[in-house]
Amino acid sequence: MGERSNDNVILLLKNKGLSVTYSRKLLLETFLATNVAVSQLKLCKIFNGQLDKATIYRTLRLFVKKKLLYVVPTTDLSIAYAFYADQSASTLNGHSHFICEKCNKTFYLNGVNIPPISLPPHLNVTRSETFIYGICNECKKSRQSKLINP
């Protein structure tokens, strides 16, 4: 990661009142470098030997609590984590995801607006999310390739 990205990671951590540690920087850099949600299992594979499972788990929980990351369900009923792309946006505005039913990757859909929903006055929204399911381009291309070249 470049110096500018490293500065961004440090600034994000400090803005959330977190001390800057090796594991926090490493995990946050990973989320900043991808536009897909990542599971704890995948992170354990990526950082095998660098970070232990307990450190990864504790850091993910802390990042969710501090609203750096949010939990994203997947098609296989596991949990993945994604970075809040717009740290200044209100969570009431919501955000959207596309979940591939073939490879289980979850993509954050930047700029896709959720239409307002009218709720009874006794219900208070704390956040909203939209999940759109389908087949991603990578899986679609793979499928078309198999149809052409069986």
Task: State the Cα–Cα distance between residues 36 and 140, nearest whole angstrom.
Answer: 17
pTM to 2 decimals?
Answer: 0.69
What are the pLDDT digits (tens) for 21-63?
Answer: 999 999 999 998 887 788 888 999 999 889 999 999 999 999 9
Q: Is the pLDDT of residue 3 over 80?
A: no
What are the pLDDT digits (tens) for 84-127?
Answer: 765 555 444 567 888 888 888 888 787 777 777 788 999 887 77
Domain annotation for the chain: domains and CATH numbers: 3-148 (1.10.10.10)
The SS3 of residue 18 is coil
User: According to the annotation, is 44 in a ligand binding site?
Assistant: no
Tell which phi-psi region holds residue 116, choosing left (phi > 0), alpha (psi between -120 and 50) or beta.
Answer: beta
Structural contact between residues 84 and 68, judged by C-beta atoms closer than 8 angstroms: yes
